Structure 1
Amino acid sequence: MRKITIKILTKLPTRYLTTGIIIIILLLIYGVVGSYFIMDLNIVDSIYYSITTMTTVGYGDYIPYTPIEKIFSTSLSLAGVALLAYVFNIFLTNFQQTMKRYSKEARKMKKINDMDDYYILCGFGRVGKVVFEELKNRKQNIIVFEKNSEIYESIEEDNSIVTIHKDATEDDLIAKLANEKCNSVIISTGNDVSNLFIVLTIRETNPDVWIVTRASKIKNISRLRKAGANKIVSPEISGGQDMFFESTKPHLLRITVKHGFDGIYDEFKVIEKHGCTLENIDYHLPGINTPLTREFNVRRLADGKKYGQYLKTHDDQRQALQNLYKVAYNVHSHFIIGPDKKSLENMVEDLKKLEEVIGINLTNEEIAEMTKNDIK
């Protein structure tokens, strides 16, 4: 209790302390001047009389007799009582607020301790809100660090959401919470310096926790990676990629085909022949709407040859890919971008000569309906 009281006194708002000191000084000056001229006391006795009267001690060694002396003494006593009430009210109010905050923080920590696992989100700005909603929709436990009071108050808590009103760059609590129960730390503030400091703070004591951070500027990506971030997401890069794919929609098609593992390279030769690029591949499990998606980073025929050689020399990778084709009954879809509509049409015609083309721009639901008989 003693420690809490000292902490409360040392953390009283500066404006309250300043105002209280000024009032005490003014009242003391009033008492000394009045005692000197009205009570006809010397300086030392004036100070003594003012303090004993202000504090309502009143030893009685100096007694006012005249009306003006009584009025002066009464005003000084009332002002002293009011000052004591003011100071006591400040202390009591701050004590209640501090105890309430400690109690609230204790409840939050208990809720965190009761969680089996959780995600930590630093920053609840535009990017942070999107991440928060994605986690919330998936019913994940979330701990949100937000230093802005207005934003902090706007976040609604429930059994799976805990908000902490702290600056993650100035408090080591985040490092303590990034323990074995933490699935991932997501740092989404718009300040790369703050993001870097948070990464360093966490990584210093938690070498194994998975850290994903935002990089507002591309030039800071390498710094964040060196600091210990496992994954860096740049809105500049992802935004540019989104704009690129949106711009290619008139020249983008999804073609669903059926062929075996051995036809990969021949298929790629046809795609490259017409100046098209293969972006990714969806493997369709029979009767299931959601496909398995694999990014395809091969853009040139030479890269395709290298990939083919890689599969020949890596039995485990080749076997895994063959198994994937078997599970999908050889049905998969390619997202292909072409220089123009005519090139895409010519490519489709050549692919029809090479393999079975099931359809163009089919939805996952349509493909699932067409492939559900393969289960039998």
Structure 2
Amino acid sequence: MRKIIYKFLTKLPTKYVTSGIILIVLLFAYGIIGSHFIMGLNLVDSIYYSVSTMATVGYGDYIPTTGIQKIFATTLALSGVALLAYVFNIILTNFQERMSEYSKGARKMRKIGRMDDYYILCGYGRVGKVVFQELNKRKQSVIIFDKDTEATEDLVEDENVVVINKDATENNLISKAINDKCRSVIISTGDDVTNLFIVLTIRETNPDAWIVSRASKIENISRLKKAGADKIVSPEVIGGKDLYFESAKPHILRLTVQHSSDEIFDEFKTIAKFNCNLENIDYHIPGIETPLSREINTMNLDDGKKYANYLRKNKDAKNALDNLYNTVNNIHSHLISGPDHATFDKLIKELEKHETILGKNLTNKEIMEITKKRKE
């Protein structure tokens, strides 16, 4: 019921203001014709009498005397009052709604201004929801553009989530939201034409923005690339989760290190100290290019403490982990997401104090060559 009322009210002003004005014009014409033929007035006096009667001013200089004249004056006065009140009420309601919308939009823009770093997500459909879940899990600030109010009605806005129910390209709205604090723009609508238009809109004013776009059809990948998208992702191939990883590439570090299992918690504390997120760990078996991967997805220090306590209490699990580390000669890689490159530089310097750093952003092939030499 609430949705029906909302839709009715939002469509009411434009339609009925126009209809009301037309009815006023018709009533004015009725007043002029009736004044001339019923009241016996000339054209100028008919206009004067119609206006004064419709507005219920009634100066009394023309008084209806016959029955038909009184009926005419009564219908003209009542119709005029009703119509004028109706139109002015609709205009006032429309004005109040617009002012409320403007005020709400201004509050959202102030909230965006207070955000330190944020992602922009265009489209909150099936894929967009998965992307948002990945961002929210990592406590990232997100601005969501989706003109469908029903799609976003379950979202709870707070200091880290802002929902804008407007077309992202309307008045270059999305371009105004992109600045140095915007990490990436993720375009995940199901319409490739819409995605293409959003990319073009952003590129006109923000040539340095990092844009990741969804492509529903493979043949549109090249078009989105030419339009200016940095990465194009087909959900059929990799899905919403990888949209996040592609968008975060400027803020993702793959760090290859060598240390024993006893230093795991110290390493975890250091990563958490710099507000970075440990996404996964790759264990590199000497001579084998493809590593063993283990998903972590946390930067909560309590999780690290729980894991350390678990290893202390479970000797079998600790022995199994020690055997794994011995097998890979203590060489493994961490996929770490963080705020920026400067933070990564500080993190690496801190980690170097208690473990060996073999390289950053190395390929599996490069790491395989390192494991071979270290094994020898």
Normalization by structure 2: what TM-score? 0.62
Deviation of the 1:229 alpha carbon = 1.2
Instruction: Check whether the contact 2:119–2:184 (CA below 8 A) recurs between aligned residues.
Output: yes
Greater displacement, 146-155 / 156-165: 146-155
Q: How does 1:231-246 map to 2 (within 5 A)?
A: 231-238=231-238
Letter in 1 for 2:367: L
| Residues 24 and 323 of structure 1: CA distance in aligned 2, closer, same or farther (over 3 Å) | same
Letter in 2 for 1:281: P
Deviation of the 1:78 alpha carbon = 2.2
Among candidates 315, 321, 333, match of residue 367 of structure 2: 321
Q: Say which SS state the counterpart of residue 236 (structure 1) adopts.
A: coil
Greater displacement, 198-207 / 157-166: 198-207
In 2, Cα distance between equivalents of 1:193 and 1:257: 42
Partner of 1:57: 57
In 1, Cα distance between equivalents of 2:200 and 2:59: 63
In 2, Cα distance between equivalents of 1:39 and 1:80: 18
Matched, 1:164 2:164: yes
In 1, Cα distance between equivalents of 2:171 and 2:370: 48
Deviation of the 1:214 alpha carbon = 0.3
Matched, 1:93 2:93: yes
Deviation of the 1:168 alpha carbon = 1.6
Partner of 2:292: 282
Letter in 1 for 2:291: I
In 2, Cα distance between equivalents of 1:206 and 1:190: 23
Equivalent residues, number: 266
In 2, Cα distance between equivalents of 1:137 and 1:324: 34
Q: Say which SS state the counterpart of residue 170 (structure 2) adopts.
A: coil
Partner of 1:20: 20
Greater displacement, 109-118 / 151-160: 151-160
Partner of 1:104: 104
In 1, Cα distance between equivalents of 2:284 and 2:367: 15
Partner of 1:138: 138
Q: How does 1:358-373 map to 2 (within 5 A)?
A: none
In 1, Cα distance between equivalents of 2:83 and 2:30: 14
What residue ranges of structure 2 are gaps of 5+ in the alignment? 1-10, 243-281, 295-319, 326-331, 336-361
Letter in 2 for 1:282: L
In 2, Cα distance between equivalents of 1:283 and 1:66: 98
Could you say what the CA RMSD is over the residues aligned between the two structures, in angstroms?
Answer: 3.6
Instruction: Check whether the contact 1:281–1:293 (CA below 8 A) recurs between aligned residues.
Output: no
Q: How does 1:1-376 map to 2 (within 5 A)?
A: 13-238=13-238, 260=286, 264=287, 280-282=290-292, 292=333, 321=367, 325=371
1:31-58 deviation digits (Å, cap 9, x = unpaired): 2333233312234432331122112233
In 2, Cα distance between equivalents of 1:13 and 1:84: 14
Q: Say which SS state the counterpart of residue 98 (structure 1) adopts.
A: helix
Instruction: Check whether the contact 1:120–1:186 (CA below 8 A) recurs between aligned residues.
Output: yes
Q: Say which SS state the counterpart of residue 97 (structure 2) adopts.
A: helix
| Residues 210 and 196 of structure 1: CA distance in aligned 2, closer, same or farther (over 3 Å) | same
In 2, Cα distance between equivalents of 1:37 and 1:62: 14
Greater displacement, 212-221 / 51-60: 51-60
In 2, Cα distance between equivalents of 1:238 and 1:258: 24
In 2, Cα distance between equivalents of 1:161 and 1:88: 38
In 1, Cα distance between equivalents of 2:110 and 2:205: 22
Q: Say which SS state the counterpart of residue 172 (structure 1) adopts.
A: helix
Deviation of the 1:135 alpha carbon = 1.0
Letter in 1 for 2:97: Q
Instruction: Check whether the contact 2:35–2:46 (CA below 8 A) recurs between aligned residues.
Output: yes
Instruction: Check whether the contact 1:120–1:184 (CA below 8 A) recurs between aligned residues.
Output: yes
Deviation of the 1:208 alpha carbon = 2.1
Normalization by structure 1: what TM-score? 0.62
Deviation of the 1:319 alpha carbon = 11
In 1, Cα distance between equivalents of 2:174 and 2:64: 63
| Residues 214 and 258 of structure 1: CA distance in aligned 2, closer, same or farther (over 3 Å) | closer
